[in-house]
Structure 1
């Protein structure tokens, strides 16, 4: 994992990463949808993409290798 990324994650970050891992999220047009509803923190999805924890391709969101490692360590 890149040392310039998030060193600690918040409970909200962890919950969203778990939702992504469970297949409950879609990333579309820079917006993260959880269970079909916009994430309450509009900056969270783009930040997790920028930090390299979730993939930025439109469609079903999925964790990157760094995201999986961070979630496993949390």
Structure 2
């Protein structure tokens, strides 16, 4: 997501796309969105793809799993 290659669809069950291709595990993509770990970077019309971002909660979750080397 940091490279700007991720998109998310604007819907109640958003789909995730990487490099224009649908993520192969949309169930996980839906869960990440419901948990607030990923989100749309800007508003969009229903069904529109917009840039996806890692939320603060998502960044903290990754920090717990993948600590930054000192």
The answer to whether the aligner puts 1:28 opposite 2:9 as a matched pair is yes
Of Structure 1 and Structure 2, the greater helix share is in: 1
Aligned-residue RMSD, C-alpha: 1.6
Count residues in correspondence: 55
Q: Secondary structure at the match of 2:38?
A: coil
Query: What's the TM-score, normalizing by structure 1?
Result: 0.63
Structure number with greater Rg is 2
Of Structure 1 and Structure 2, the greater strand share is in: 2
Aligned-residue offset at 1:36: 0.8
Aligned-residue offset at 1:21: 3.1
* Structure 1: gaps spanning 5 or more residues: 1-19
Aligned to 1:54: 38
Query: What's the TM-score, normalizing by structure 2?
Result: 0.66
Aligned to 1:63: 54
Runs ≥4 residues deviating over 3 A: none
